[in-house]
Structure 1
């Protein structure tokens, strides 16, 4: 009977191992950058968000709060939001990668994973920009967008990518 579940158990085991390895590696990275405030990857995202916002007419400055490991967005002379480690979408990217590699299909796995990571990175930048714009221009909707709309967008993107991976790559018969 257990033989029938072997493929499913192998996929589940691969997912868990990959997820835990990436999660521990990321935690090791975070522990190594604690003294400098916000981690370098999150800071890079904050810098890119500020640059894009300036380019679209939302003058933005960043203020470091090293002690609290965060960066504040100062948009149009108002503090609108803060960037913390959780805003960088790395945890979502780790989940995405673990799922895709659980259904490993050779070189196309790496290509799809890379394309998916780039898409998630761009979606996350747009999410943070959108949140800053909502917080400066439509403050009354800020909590709704932060708590519901934007998480639905980024998690929805992950689900769509997973469905594409499964339907068109992972379960596709190699002989057809």
Structure 2
């Protein structure tokens, strides 16, 4: 009976946290995105594109970004060629919300939860920037592999990193650790 209670408590905490954070994120998007006459992405999506451009430039690529004129995305250009785009779903906030919901639902000390949540969220954000930069280069070099790269390889990177953080949380920092 106690095991079932723990499972139910986990699910309630997880979904409550997820829906609260997702609702706040949705409000943020409503306030910051513009879809009429001119498209304007949220500041975090534009920042992700800017930081991806900086990473590409650091590695010697001629990179640029610009707001897409026909849709809610930011274009990434490599050597003057439109190669990739950053949409709202690519800014890593939705995966960070999922990550935080899990560690809050699988409790640890307040200090550990705040510290691990912050460091883990920043880690996911950083991995995401590197992932988009790498995807941009790969799409330019191997355009015929777009479906495979975008739909399989690169989601595996961010979800794999998040899963590893969850395992680390459960075994090292949560109250569940032995």
TM-score w.r.t. length of structure 2: 0.91
Using the TM superposition, give the Cα deviation of residue 142 of structure 1 relative to its aligned residue in structure 2, in angstroms. 2.5
Aligned residue number for residue 172 of structure 1: 177
Using the TM superposition, give the Cα deviation of residue 140 of structure 1 relative to its aligned residue in structure 2, in angstroms. 2.4
Q: 2:167 aligns with which of 149, 163, 170?
A: 163
Aligned residue number for residue 25 of structure 2: 26
Q: Cα distance 1:86–1:4, how it changes in 2: closer, same or farther (>3 A)?
A: closer
Using the TM superposition, give the Cα deviation of residue 133 of structure 1 relative to its aligned residue in structure 2, in angstroms. 0.4
Mapped to 2, the partners of 1:105 and 1:155 lie a distance apart of 22
Using the TM superposition, give the Cα deviation of residue 11 of structure 1 relative to its aligned residue in structure 2, in angstroms. 1.5
**What's the secondary structure of 1:73's corresponding residue?**
strand
Using the TM superposition, give the Cα deviation of residue 109 of structure 1 relative to its aligned residue in structure 2, in angstroms. 1.0
Kindly indicate whether residue 56 of structure 2 is the aligned counterpart of residue 43 of structure 1: no
Task: Specify every segment of 5 or more residues in structure 1 that has no aligned partner in the other structure, as ranges.
Answer: none
Task: Specify every segment of 5 or more residues in structure 2 that has no aligned partner in the other structure, as ranges.
Answer: none
Aligned residue number for residue 57 of structure 2: 54
> For the aligned residues, what is the CA RMSD?
1.5
- Structure 1's consecutive aligned runs of 4 or more residues displaced over 6 angstroms after TM superposition are none
Residues 4-50 of structure 1 deviation map (CA, whole Å, 9 limit, x = unaligned) = 52222112111111000000000000001122611100100100111
